Amino acid sequence: MSESSNKKIVVVGGLNMDLFIQADRFPLPGETFEGDSFYTGGGGKGANQAIAAAQLSGRGVVEMIGRVGDDAFGVDLLANLNRYGVGTGAIQAVDGEASGIALIFSDAQRENYVLPVYGANTTCGDDEVERGRQLMSSTSVLLMQQEIPTNVTSAIAKHGREAGVTVIHDPAPVRQLPKGYFDSVSILVPNQLEAEALTGIEVTDAASAREAAHAIRKTSVPVAILKLGADGCYVVGDGIDDYFPGHKVEPVATVAAGDAFAGGLATGIAEGMSLSDAVHLANATGAVSVTKEGAQDSMPSRAEVQAFLESR
């Protein structure tokens, strides 16, 4: 992994307003069933990961590339990023477009069901690629997902690779991908469902996670980190072939745990940590995040994560 530097973490990805509904269960077809609560909050995998990294790294370290609509949600999404110290100069507000939204239903077991409508995110194009190219010379880690057009993500990843940037890719949501899509990726970080979609291997435990991680590395990705939710992750690459257990906590909401993990991983790599130490930071960040409500509001500060690790 790269040496420590003062360069930025750049996040390319989706910005959505999350609409949270909590209820014991889904209503049946034709049924009206009363829920327990409703609230809104900033979301989108890209924005979540940017805030996670900013909470750990401090203000002025993280820059985000993406798009919002020219609506009230767009104003709120940008304000929230600014509140957490994420740079928003490379985010466009698109005239005549609605900002992305995601309806998130949480049941009595705190399982989450997410239904996004990506809106302005889907209009990302050449402007974002050019912004990415311009930022790469001052970037240490590029963090990406799949909520904006994959051709944009792929083009920016190529600029990152050419500039010697560590490219971390979270392959979510699952999409049909062109051959060679991961050629510029340094670290691929799928969850169990995403890994199965990529490899055809059903991931149920550490052993099957190891098998899937090795299969992913054969696609030219140097490092595969397969997330196992509360059970931690399996890492293959950079001299590591090992299982990293998760931390046992009492979950409140798990909606952005994977995004917290990604932000922690990016921060560790950007600070010059070994891959092993960066994974430990990522695991702890994800664990603390699930003890709080919301998505962006659940991202823990560096002090919270450090206190959590010291308590363990």
Token reading at 293: 């409500």
Catalytic residue among 18, 71, 259, 297: 259
Q: Which residues contact 11 (CB under 8 A, 6 or more apart)?
A: 46, 47, 49, 50, 53, 62, 63, 64, 65, 86, 142, 143, 144, 266
**What is d(CA 80, CA 71) in angstroms, rounded to the nearest whole number?**
15
Task: For residue 259, indicate whether it is catalytic.
Answer: yes
> Catalytic residues, which ones?
259
